């Protein structure tokens, strides 16, 4: 069996609407680990990444509640903290399952930095919301004091801080991990790394690295990591068994085996939401364009069958029928989807952009 980079997302750690307690998160991690154990039993070499959005959001709330007593930490440090505690939870549950099955594997958690470009356009146009909602007067004050950018989202609760979401350029710890994976003298192991896309860093003076306050899309980092590690498969785990086209129509259709041309056509046709399926599809296409053999998008329970070619959306360079699917449903209202994704704005308070800076 080959090397598989698994990007855990969706309900792997938290369910929508839940409080996000330690006990609840641990229970979800325990459920997530079971299919991963079956992959180890089947002989796959696993490298795991994970999201951290709700966890970093909770840390930001904790900091805000105690900011008068404890100096707050920058966003890159919070990302590093989340890598540690989420990685620890996965490590604990996975190691327990490995011992119960008497498998020889060990589990390691690797704090990971991801290089981004200081010239990435997203630093000039931040758009990734983080933290909680602020009243306008407090948002204005924080914008002046800290240089933060806010957008008006009063329809959902107030003004929200937004940060850059730069593209990943390199995973700094990947060469070390690649060498370790290839070392025959090392016992088999599962590596957990690049949580939340990795801690974003830029090149500073004299070859040093400097952390930046940004959020990297974890699926894009997973695609880059899979390429750097020469993985055969990138597996992106989400909340649904397969990618759907015609999602908000009476007849949505799951995509099974598909080629880059067809999937890119659906992408350009506006089938996938910006904050949900679109970055996952883009990451899968990126991995294949770099020479990857296979990208899978599915939920955690379907993952073992998807790796056998029996479930999920499976993207390969020669997948599908080489052309466009004649059964592709026509989207009747692409403009309506775009309007639904537009942020609410507050005229007259922050200019035509609805932003505070």
List, by residue number, the catalytic residues: 10-11, 128, 218, 280
Q: Where are the beta strands (DSSP E) in the chain?
A: 3-8, 45-50, 106-110, 113-115, 128-134, 149-153, 158-163, 170-171, 189-193, 199-203, 209-211, 233-238, 244-245, 253-254, 257-258, 294-299, 313-315, 355-356
Long-range contacts of 97-104 (CB under 8 A, 24+ apart): 97/33, 97/34, 97/37, 98/37, 98/40, 101/37, 101/40, 101/41, 103/37, 103/40, 103/41, 104/187, 104/188
148 Cβ contact list (under 8 Å, min separation 6): 142, 161, 357
What crossing angle do the helices spanning 75-101 and 22-41 adopt, rounded to 10°?
50
Phi-psi region for residue 236, left (φ > 0), alpha (ψ -120 to 50) or beta? beta
CB neighbour burial string for 306-315, b if at least 16 within 10 angstroms, e if fewer: bbeeebbbbb
DSSP three-state, residue 247:
coil
Token pair belonging to 307: 């790796």
Rounded distance, CA 334 to CA 96, Å?
48
Element (H, E) at 141: helix 136-146
Residue with tokens 């026509």: 330
CA separation for the pair 342, 340 (Å, rounded): 6
In this structure, are residues 226 and 5 in contact, taking their beta carbons and an 8 Å threshold?
Answer: yes
DSSP H/E element including 267: helix 260-268
**Does residue 252 contact residue 315 with C-beta atoms inside 8 Å?**
no
Q: What is the spatial distance between Cα 227 and Cα 230, in angstroms, rounded to a whole number?
A: 5
């Amino acid at each position: 069996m080959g090397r598989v980079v698994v990007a855990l997302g969706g309900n792997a750690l938290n369910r929508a609407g839940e409080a996000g307690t330690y006990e609840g998160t641990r229970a979800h991690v325990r459920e997530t680990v079971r299919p991963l154990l079956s992959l180890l039993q089947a002989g796959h070499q696993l490298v795991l990444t994970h999201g951290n959005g709700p966890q970093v959001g909770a840390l930001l709330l904790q900091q805000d509640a105690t900011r008068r007593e404890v100096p707050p930490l920058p966003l890159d440090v919070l990302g590093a903290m989340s890598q540690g505690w989420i990685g620890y939870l996965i490590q604990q549950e996975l190691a327990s399952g490995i011992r119960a099955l008497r498998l020889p594997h060990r589990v390691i958690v690797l704090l990971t930095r991801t290089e981004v470009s200081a010239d990435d356009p997203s630093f000039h146009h931040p758009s990734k919301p983080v933290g909680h909602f602020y009243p306008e007067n407090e948002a204005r004050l924080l914008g002046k004091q800290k240089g933060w950018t806010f957008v008006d989202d009063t329809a959902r609760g107030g003004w929200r801080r937004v940060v850059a979401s730069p593209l990943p350029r390199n995973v700094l710890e990947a060469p070390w991990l690649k060498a370790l994976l290839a070392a025959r003298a090392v016992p088999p192991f599962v590596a957990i790394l690049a949580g939340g896309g990795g801690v974003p860093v830029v090149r500073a003076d004299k070859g040093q690295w400097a952390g930046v306050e940004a959020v990297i899309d974890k699926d894009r980092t997973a695609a880059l990591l899979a390429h750097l590690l020469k993985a055969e498969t990138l597996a992106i785990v989400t909340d649904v068994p397969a990618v759907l086209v015609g999602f908000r129509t009476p007849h949505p259709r799951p995509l099974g085996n598909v080629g880059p041309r067809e999937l890119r056509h659906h992408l350009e046709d506006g089938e996938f939401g910006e904050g949900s399926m679109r970055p996952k599809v883009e990451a899968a296409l990126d991995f294949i364009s770099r020479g990857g053999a296979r990208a899978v998008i599915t939920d955690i329970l379907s993952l073992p069958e998807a790796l056998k070619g029996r479930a999920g959306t499976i993207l390969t360079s020669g997948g599908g029928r080489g052309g466009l699917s004649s059964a592709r449903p026509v989207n009747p209202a692409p403009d309506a989807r775009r309007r639904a994704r537009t942020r609410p704005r507050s005229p007259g308070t922050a200019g035509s952009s609805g932003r505070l800076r």
